[in-house]
Structure 1
Amino acid sequence: MTVKDIGPQPQAFDLEAATRENTHYRSVAWSGRYLQVTLMSIPVGADIGLEMHPETDQFLRLDAGSGRAQMGPAKDQLSFNCEVSDGWCILIPAGTWHNVTNTGDVPMQVYAVYAPAHHKPGKVQPTAADAEADTDDEPADWSVQPAGTRADQHV
């Protein structure tokens, strides 16, 4: 199933099927003015990457696989540690350091909802290395972003 990001237009698709079938590290499925939906596939033993979005809340849901969600107030203080699996959600408040690691034996299939939008509409990043090297991954000009946006932090 291929989902095309049509921007802030009405859209409907089978989110669970699209998430399970996605083979890319990150694929932006829909971009609105105030939020965004991305699909992610995390290989066995890999992780999303320790990061902190100062002004972006996130909702993650696992549709396949299992992992460990870690969160905390600082990158070296990940006091929240929870095993997660198919059907679980992970709620990440803005300003919280977080990472999700695939601890299972199959790719971890995740969808993420960002508020506000966080990536370039329609962006596809096949691997985590591609995402890290991507210098053209900013939200659309028409998305509503907080005034005085602070930069994300990654380890």
Structure 2
Amino acid sequence: MQEVSQTTLPIVEMAKGNEEFRQVLWTGKNTQLVLMAIPAGGEIGGEVHEGHDQLLYFVEGEGEATIGDTKAAVQSGDVSIVPSGSFHNFRNTGTVMLKLYTTYCPPEHAPGTEHETKNEADADE
């Protein structure tokens, strides 16, 4: 999918329909909007973004968020806040895809980035 140019999107519907591990929807000068889908038993993978704040908005499924030393259950309707420099990981603890959209401030990935799977994303990094 090519990056969108509209300024208003049905983001929850788009996130629920997404089957790719990572799909960059829009990249601006200071912010980036990305869809993610984590398969049952999968995870995003532990990481730290220096100089990038991240917000993750969950729309479907169940998981566990680890941010710094804190672990918490996440589900549809929750948002996780990851300040710059914080270790974080998100695991799918349910039986269906954990679906979400996330914002990076400033952008983290190249515009138009798409990864069908975590393995593909890891190979690209």
Query: Is TM (by shorter chain) over 0.5?
Result: yes
Please name the residue that 1:134 is paired with. Answer: 124
| 1:1-155 superposed matches below 5 A | 4-6=2-4, 10-72=6-68, 79-134=69-124
- Code of the residue aligned with 2:113 in structure 1: it is K
Higher strand fraction (1 or 2): 2
- Code of the residue aligned with 1:37 in structure 2: it is L
Structure 1: 4+ residue segments shifted above 6 A: none
How far off its partner does 1:10 sit? 4.8
Kindly provide the CA deviation profile for residues 24-81 of structure 1, in whole angstroms up to 9, marking residues without a partner as x. Answer: 0000011111000000000000001000001100000110001000011xxxxxx201
Q: Distance in 1 between matches of 2:117 and 2:6?
A: 29
Q: Distance in 2 between matches of 1:84 and 1:24?
A: 20
Q: Distance in 2 between matches of 1:134 and 1:97?
A: 20
How far off its partner does 1:87 sit? 0.6
Q: Distance in 2 between matches of 1:46 and 1:10?
A: 31
- Stretches of structure 1 that go unaligned for 5 or more consecutive residues are 73-78, 136-155
Partner secondary structure for residue 119 of structure 2: helix
How far off its partner does 1:12 sit? 1.9
How far off its partner does 1:134 sit? 1.1
CA RMSD of aligned residues (A): 1.2
- Code of the residue aligned with 2:60 in structure 1: it is A
Percent identity between matched residues is 34
How far off its partner does 1:11 sit? 2.4
Whichever of the two has the greater Rg, that structure is 1
Paired residue total: 125
- Stretches of structure 2 that go unaligned for 5 or more consecutive residues are none
Partner secondary structure for residue 121 of structure 1: coil
Please name the residue that 1:139 is paired with. Answer: none
Q: Distance in 1 between matches of 2:101 and 2:28?
A: 16
Q: Relative contact order (C-alpha < 8 Å, sep 6+): which is higher?
A: 2
